[in-house]
Amino acid sequence: MVGLIDLNTVEEDCPLPLSPDSSTASSTFSSALSPRTNNHMDPSGSSSLCLELWHACAGPLISLPKKGSPVVYLPRGHLEHVGSDSNFPNPVLDLPPHISSLVVDVKLHADVVTDDVYAQVSLLPVIEQSEQKWSEGEAEVDLEDDDFNLYPKSSTPHMFCKTLTASDTSTHGGFSVPRRAAEDCFPPLDYTQQRPSQELIAKDLHGLEWRFRHIYRGQPRRHLLTTGWSAFVNKKKLVSGDAVLFLRASNGELRLGIRRAAQVKGFSAIPSACIRHLNQRALLDVPKAISEGRVFNVYYDPRGTSSEFVVPCRKFFKSLDCTLAPAMRFKMRVEADDGAERRCSGLITHLTDLDPVRWDDKESDRCSRISPWEIEPSGLVPSLSSTIMPGFKRSRLGIPPLQPDHPTSNGIGSSDSKESTRFQKVLQGQENTGFTSPYNRIRKLEHSCDIGNGSSYTVPINAEKSMGYFESFRVHEVLQDQETSANPSHSRAWVVNENDVNGGFNPPPTNQGFMFHASPPMSNAPLHSPFSVLTSPPAGKAFRSWKGSKHFRLEFRHSSSKEQSANKVSGSDSRSSSCRLFGISLGEGRTVASKLGS
């Protein structure tokens, strides 16, 4: 049984008492050990208080989609959120890399056993027309800024959050309340008394009441919670490093939440076990739901911030406009130790999947992988692409992956600039394969960066064997069964792998209608969502014909200045290995387009 806050209804009772078995992750597993609670919310306005508490527990970074808002759902990001596992079948292998969806419902929950907060987001896969509209015409659909960030931060009430010290969690004595916090959140004490004290009653996310003796004593005087405190610590299994959270509502009621210290595996916060389990089961329904055009659920862990797999449409497509490149500076919202929101800046160092960024505050063990839509380029360093190719600034155009023997007419292949020479320094010692396109140059750069200065940054942080997550993998470089029906030298199709995306994947210079398509990596190596999937509008067409059958057809249209043609590539899905860097690969499918630049 989980505490449930329904954002969409104002019913007095929780209308959906989940069947005991459906919440296996949370309660069934420990129901014998934990007391059952009835989670009837107080109808008199305190349900909105719960909402405040939920957001307080979720932290400042949470951005939840609004009911009715358009989003992009990333199945492989979802899979990674769940964690990969040899036993666990990969249900999204045959799905397109991203799925435009409509948020039809958002419910806030909290696990009864662990108090983990999570959101149940119900998504309806959108049909072709509206999808097309969203992605193509940004002007048409001017999404409001508050499609996400549903909870108004300005209204944050009297609240404090304190990370527990060793003394707070020790068996001797209670909880030392910061002075300002106590004065702000707790009812005032009668300071005329010798040792002023009162009983505080605070409700947790499930509506469970906790009683504490609040006393002002000691020399010098301080606010303490004594009786009742250790029971709370024990029941919630709090340890020093976890944080508690008090919140006083407008009606004076006190609410109490917890934020456990992030479970960090290899610098990357992982979602809690109960949420992983919910998503495991949810994920299994996704393929069927999508094929049937039916609503499906995903569970979003606001504390495991590393995997956004539901991204607001606008944010997602906007991030396509922005070209990322090494030496580019950026800013990003992060959560500070005290739970507050900060902005941190950093530098894109590599174009690899591993440690692509360096943060300005070096000692931080912040996650070292970022999503394009999470950051803002800080604009100080000019974009590499726009410098290299003056003709193609931002927007969705950028560095074209031209082949040396097929230079396009605008002479981009031979362009040079301070940026590119500056980065070419690190190329020394690498054999020159004769590739001179800027795209290829960036590739080389990436490798040389790894070798040149990356000694302290090249630890494969995501290759934690113990987790089974994010295993580093070597994608086969072999191209199997190359179909030559598409002329390689003219094909505009290639794999967008994590590096491409992170390094600012750049489509070929066309006037309109280019497309690119992300390649799923090898079937048993889940790709981190931020890097896995980007598809510009027309690709929707492609995956739609792919969807529902093992046979797929891709249409590549490139209306460049010279030629107006359409290449069609088709093939049938059969098991073979994936390819690396160049070539088109679909799921476990045969590689159908060939390597570029060879």
Partner DNA sequence: TTGTCTCCCATTGGGAGACAA
Partner DNA sequence: TTGTCTCCCAATGGGAGACAA
Q: What is the dihedral of CA 63, 67, 69, 75, to 10 degrees?
A: 70
Structure tokens at 342: 């900060």
How far apart are CB 25 and a second copy at their closest, in Å?
8
- Which of residues 17, 178, 407, 513 is near DNA by CB under 7 A? 178
Judged by CB under 8 A, which stretch of 272-280, 377-385, 500-508, 530-538 contacts a second copy?
272-280
- Which of residues 24, 30, 226, 545 is near DNA by CB under 7 A? 226
How far apart are CB 85 and a second copy at their closest, in Å?
4
Give the position of tokens 């230079």.
Answer: 407
From the list DNA, a second copy, none, partner contacted by residue 263 (C-beta under 5 to 8 A by kind): a second copy
- Site residues for a second copy, 3-22, by CB under 8 A, read 18-22
- Of residues 31 and 378, the one with the C-beta less far from a second copy: 31
Tell me phi and psi for residue 119, to 5 degrees: -115, 135
Structure tokens at 179: 């002075």
Rule CB under 8 A: say whether 261 interacts with a second copy.
no
How far apart are CB 22 and a second copy at their closest, in Å?
4
The whole-angstrom separation of Cα 451 and Cα 462 is 19
How far apart are CB 164 and DNA at their closest, in Å?
9
How far apart are CB 376 and a second copy at their closest, in Å?
34
Burial degree of 225 (CB within 10 A; 0-12, 13-18, 19+): buried
Rule CB under 8 A: say whether 545 interacts with a second copy.
no
- Of residues 40 and 179, the one with the C-beta less far from DNA: 179
Judged by CB under 7 A, which stretch of 55-63, 120-128, 218-226, 586-594 contacts DNA?
218-226
- Which of residues 229, 330, 469, 514 is near DNA by CB under 7 A? 229
Rule CB under 8 A: say whether 87 interacts with a second copy.
yes
Rule CB under 8 A: say whether 237 interacts with a second copy.
yes
Rule CB under 7 A: say whether 198 interacts with DNA.
no
As a whole number of Å, the CA-based R_g of the chain is 26
Contacts for 395-399 with beta carbons within 8 Å, 24 or more apart? Answer: 395/321, 396/320, 396/321, 396/507, 396/536, 397/506, 397/507, 397/509, 398/323, 398/504, 398/505, 398/506, 398/507, 399/323, 399/438, 399/439, 399/442, 399/504, 399/506
The whole-angstrom separation of Cα 300 and Cα 308 is 8
Rule CB under 7 A: say whether 221 interacts with DNA.
yes
Give the up-direction half-sphere exposure of residue 262: CA atoms within 13 A in the CB hemisphere.
Answer: 24
Rule CB under 8 A: say whether 233 interacts with a second copy.
no
The pairing of beta strand 117-125 with beta strand 296-300: antiparallel
- Which of residues 38, 167, 489, 574 is near DNA by CB under 7 A? 167
- Of residues 87 and 219, the one with the C-beta less far from a second copy: 87
Judged by CB under 8 A, which stretch of 134-142, 226-234, 332-340, 465-473 contacts a second copy?
465-473
Structure tokens at 230: 């250790």
What are residue 461's DSSP bridge partners?
none
SS3 449: helix
Rule CB under 8 A: say whether 263 interacts with a second copy.
yes
- Which of residues 219, 409, 421, 466 is near DNA by CB under 7 A? 219
Before 220, cis peptide (omega within 30)?
yes
Q: Summarize as ranges the residues that interact with DNA (CB under 7 A).
A: 165-168, 171-174, 176, 178-180, 195, 213, 215, 217-222, 224, 226-227, 229-230
